[in-house]
Amino acid sequence: MSAAAPLALTIGEPASISGEITLKAWAAAQTDKSIPPFVALADGDWLETQGKRLRFPVPIKPVTSAENAASEFYGALPVMPVALSTAPELGRPNPSNTTSILRSIDEAVLLTRRGITLAVVTNPIHKATMYAGGFRFPGHTEYLAELCKPASPVMMLVIEGLRVVLVTVHVPLARAVGMLSVETIELAARAAHKALVRDFGITHPRLAVAALNPHAGEDGALGSEERDIIAPAIAKLQAEGINASGPYPADTLFHARARERYDAAICMYHDQALIPLKTLDFAGGVNATLGLPIVRTSPDHGTALDIAGRGNADPTSLIAALRLASQMAQKRARE
């Protein structure tokens, strides 16, 4: 894999803001060379129509091979064609396009596993519509794990100055508590440790493990999970040579001075991780999937169907996802 290889950007939900932010990210990259080249696995006619509708015309360059996409990138958006089944109506996802969305993901993963593209960056999908179209996975992450198996995916969210890793992800809070175990905490922490070394270049990562209950359980008075599950997991990680500490009360883990003491926070449930991250930087968050044989990142937002086609979609998170994917893949390649 060459560091000059482009990133593979998937189509996402075509009725969403994915076309708009793709065009805006390409336009920004023409003057900001910190944004790495990418090839869109998408329907070129759809992207061209999006540009005209938004009065944001972008030259589209169909390519048959991703290998030459980087050389085409400055001057036109290189697109490896993935035809849509139905012309999208912005704001109204159509299940008939599920096959095209999945083909885009499949091709991006295949190109990256072969070393033709540097990493996979996924535009957001609309899961309810995908389910109606026959999609049988909870989301992007689980589908990528199936394509890349064996894999044990773990979600990391990244902004400048904070990385959070989730032990449980998109499940009701009552279920999340029941899913916590020594093993699930160990899995997330090991994946974080490995990624911080391999993909972020941190030689001796420091992991701060969050408590579940208020005040870290108050010695069992406010809950026993810290004593029975989280502390034993930390002890096992420390025995393996991983610099993990805690459990720390979540309400004291994310202020500025606390963030200086760790490289990633291991969080027990979704909102424990996402509330501080999105409070600090709502627009710039990136979702990075750990535990895969390839690098995959994604914007940390959804399809935003309510603003699709209005022209005010913010590409900041997609641009951050492109930058992070390139940085992670290049560090991994050097390792």
Domain ranges of the chain: 1-151+292-335, 161-280
The confidence score (pLDDT) of residue 232 equals 98
Per-residue pLDDT band for 227 (boundaries 50, 70, 90) equals very high
How confident is the model over 179-200, as pLDDT tens digits? 999 999 999 999 999 999 999 9
As a whole number, mean pLDDT of residues 327-332 equals 94
CATH homologous superfamily, domain 1-151+292-335: Isopropylmalate Dehydrogenase (3.40.718.10)
Sign of the dihedral defined by the CA atoms of residues 248, 253, 257, 262, in that order = positive
Looking up tokens 């560090």 gives 331
Q: Identify which of 7, 76, 80, 4 has the alpha carbon closest to the alpha carbon of residue 38.
A: 7
How far apart (Å, rounded) are the C-alpha atoms in residues 2 and 214?
Answer: 48
Q: Identify which of 108, 110, 111, 112 has the alpha carbon closest to the alpha carbon of residue 125.
A: 108
Range 161-280: architecture per CATH? 3-Layer(aba) Sandwich (3.40)
As a whole number, mean pLDDT of residues 19-29 equals 97
| Residues with Cβ within 8 Å of residue 111, at least 6 apart in sequence | 8, 66, 117
CB 171 within 8 A of CB 228: no
Q: Residue 186, by phi and psi: left (phi above 0), alpha (psi -120 to 50) or beta?
A: alpha
As a whole number, mean pLDDT of residues 277-288 equals 95
Phi, psi of 61 (to 5 degrees): -120, 100
pTM here is 0.94
CA distances from 43 to 47, 63, 141 (A): 6, 12, 23
Q: Do domains 1-151+292-335 and 161-280 have the same CATH topology?
A: yes
Residue 1 has pLDDT above 60, yes or no: no
